Amino acid sequence: MPQPDSTAERPRPIVAIPTQTLQSLGGVSADIPASWVMSQRYVQTLVIAGALPWLVPLVDDTTLRGIYESIDGLFLPGGADIDPASYGRGPHPLCDKTDPERDRVELRLAQWALADGIPVLGVCRGMQLINVAAGGTLYQDLAEQRSGSIKHDYFPFGGSGHTRDYLAHDVTISAGSHAARVFGDGCVRVNSMHHQGVKDVGSGLVVSGVAPDGLPEALERDNGHYLLAVQWHPEALTDGDERSRRLFSEFISAAREFRSRRIA
């Protein structure tokens, strides 16, 4: 991967990256102590874009608020299914393992950021979490619950033969949207590693990208505050795709501007 921008004149904003519980991932030996982890790829991608990353542990709300008051941007990564209790539903049999403590921390951070206008970027689960934080709901399994759904679950494990950068389907980007400024109008080809998706769109959010079956694949704010969320995994595409790199660099630029206002 490229090296981070070290230009002294460009202050590096602090970007929060919530962690997840190691044991929620499955396949973990019972004798390993409870641990908080996060994929290095997210951290490295944000560092290269110019961020100072802050990996956020799943701590109590008072400690979490102290962390939040020092950040300039919030990045919400992919991961385990969101507990359907978070949006008032019982679990579907095909809802996978969840991480309720991660849900709690991310929902708090997202709701605070939505209220305060802190720049937010979400990918895959992160887009779904933003939607839930804004009062929206999810399909717990697209193939089972959404009529006419295309295949979205191109997971790179279980002998699937797919890699994380496998471009699975197109997303149609809305003209004039923030997403269009990053990806351009028309269609962008994306990777796809999810079996859940946005059902009812949360308050204050607008859909700015859809899959061929109409499933929301990009969300942003309706009030001009910086928030962009995508249902795919752009961090896996940055090595060869300028638009994916632009997604992260624009987010860091917004966080840098927020930092300038915060410390002024």
Residues of the chain with pLDDT > 70, as a percent, come to 95
| Mean pLDDT of the 205-223 span | 98
State how far the Cα of 54 lies from the Cα of 105, in Å rounded to an integer: 14
Catalytic residue among 95, 194, 233, 250: 233
Let me know if 250 is a catalytic residue.
no
Show the domain range for 114.
Answer: 14-263
List 101, 124, 152, 225, catalytic entry: 124
Give the pLDDT of residue 5. 58
What CATH number corresponds to the domain at position 235?
3.40.50.880
Q: Let me know if residue 239 belongs to a domain.
A: yes
pTM attached to this predicted model: 0.95
pLDDT at position 32:
87
Say whether pLDDT at 185 is over 90.
no
Whether 77 maps to a domain, the answer reads yes
Q: Is residue 34 part of a domain?
A: yes
Asked, for residue 59, whether it belongs to a domain, the answer is yes
**Structural domains in the chain (count):** 1
The pLDDT tens digits for 50-64 are 999 999 999 999 999
- pLDDT (tens digit per residue) in 78-87: 999 999 999 9
Residue 3 domain-assigned (yes or no) = no
pLDDT-derived band at 159, boundaries 50, 70, 90: confident
pLDDT on residue 4: 62
Say if CB 146 and CB 215 are below 8 A apart. yes
Q: What is the mean pLDDT of the chain?
A: 94
Predicted pLDDT at 236: 98
- pLDDT of the residue at 6: 54
For the segment 108-153, what is each residue's pLDDT rounded down to a tens digit? 999 999 999 999 999 999 999 999 999 999 999 999 999 999 999 9
CA atoms within 13 A on the CB side of 201: 17
Does a structural domain hold residue 1? no
Reply yes or no on whether 124 is catalytic. Answer: yes
Q: Is residue 89 part of a domain?
A: yes
Catalytic site residue 235? yes
pLDDT at 8: 44
Residues 133, 135: Cα–Cα separation, whole Å: 5
DSSP assigned state of 225: -
Taking 70 as the threshold, does the pLDDT of residue 175 lie above it? yes
138-165: b (≥16 Cβ within 10 Å) or e: bbbbbeeebeebeebebeeeeeeebeee
Instruction: Please say if the pLDDT value at position 213 is more than 50.
Output: yes
Q: Is residue 9 part of a domain?
A: no
Q: Which residue in the list 217, 220, 235, 250 is annotated as catalytic? A: 235
